[in-house]
Amino acid sequence: MTGTSSQNDRKTAQKAVHARRTPPKARRSGKTTGETTDTTGANDRNSIRPRFWERFPLDRLKPAEWEALCDGCGKCCLNKLEDEDTGEVAFTRVACRLLDDATCRCTHYEIRHQFVPDCVTLSAETIAANAYWMPETCAYRLLAEGKPLYPWHYLISGDRESVHAAGASVQGITLSEFDVAEEDWEDHILATD
């Protein structure tokens, strides 16, 4: 899914891209967090163990620690296209209807499944099956792959805005899925790094 010199060539090259969200359970790529409903500790750095992401495997994290791994980039809330033949996943700038483009946060996180029933609820048990469609910069994916967090992750930088300052978020670039027909998503594929 590389860029081509003309609009017609681009359309032809992307016809193989099947306009569906990621596979059945991971169909909607929403907020990637555990089943906890108590996220009050997620914003309180004192309720989590020091440098927990370096000291404990994902399956031994406390709910607040699991929630704290989210860097707030918003990329998991983008709708994606998956090539049926290659399995390649392309991120679009078409976001879940619940994503706030300014904050890169879900507007109804606690009750999101009432509005988006197929929003993925990621857990330590499901990360392996879902990592392929998650952003390469995602803390959940990085840790599952044995990699360190990026310096701009707020757990490292101490600043929730550093993900935006580093250009690692989708802040200010998304379109609501209400505004773009699914058959037009391929027109909004984001360039890969």
The residue ranges of every structural domain in the chain are 7-188
Res 144: pLDDT: 96
Mean pLDDT of 19-26: 32
Three-state DSSP at 177 gives: coil
Quickly state the pLDDT bin for 192 (edges 50, 70, 90).
Answer: confident
Q: Using CA atoms, how far apart are residues 75 and 80, in angstroms rounded to an integer?
A: 10
Q: Which is more confident, 45 or 159?
A: 159
Task: Determine phi and psi for 149, rounding to 5 degrees.
Answer: -75, 155
Beta carbons of 84 and 18 less than 8 angstroms apart: yes
Quickly state the pLDDT bin for 19 (edges 50, 70, 90).
Answer: very low
E strand map for 43-120: 78-83, 89-95, 99-100, 105-106
Q: Which residue type sits at 56?
A: F
Beta carbons of 32 and 138 less than 8 angstroms apart: yes
Res 46: pLDDT: 57
Mean pLDDT of 63-84: 95
95-102: long-range pairs with CB below 8 Å, 24+: 95/170, 95/174, 95/175, 95/176, 95/177, 96/28, 96/29, 96/30, 96/177, 97/176, 97/177, 97/178, 98/30, 99/74, 99/174, 99/176, 101/74, 101/170, 101/171, 101/172, 101/173, 101/174, 102/171, 102/172
The proportion of the chain whose per-residue pLDDT surpasses 90, expressed as a percent, equals 73
Res 193: pLDDT: 53
Q: Which residue type sits at 29?
A: S
Task: Determine phi and psi for 114, rounding to 5 degrees.
Answer: -70, -30
Mean pLDDT of 63-75: 96
pTM for the structure as a whole: 0.76
Residue with tokens 């390649």: 88
23 has a pLDDT exceeding 60: no
Quickly state the pLDDT bin for 36 (edges 50, 70, 90).
Answer: very low
Between the alpha carbon of residue 107 and those of residues 15, 28, 101, 148, the distances in Å are: 33, 16, 10, 29
Beta carbons of 75 and 138 less than 8 angstroms apart: yes
Q: Which is more confident, 8 or 153?
A: 153
Mean pLDDT of 107-124: 94
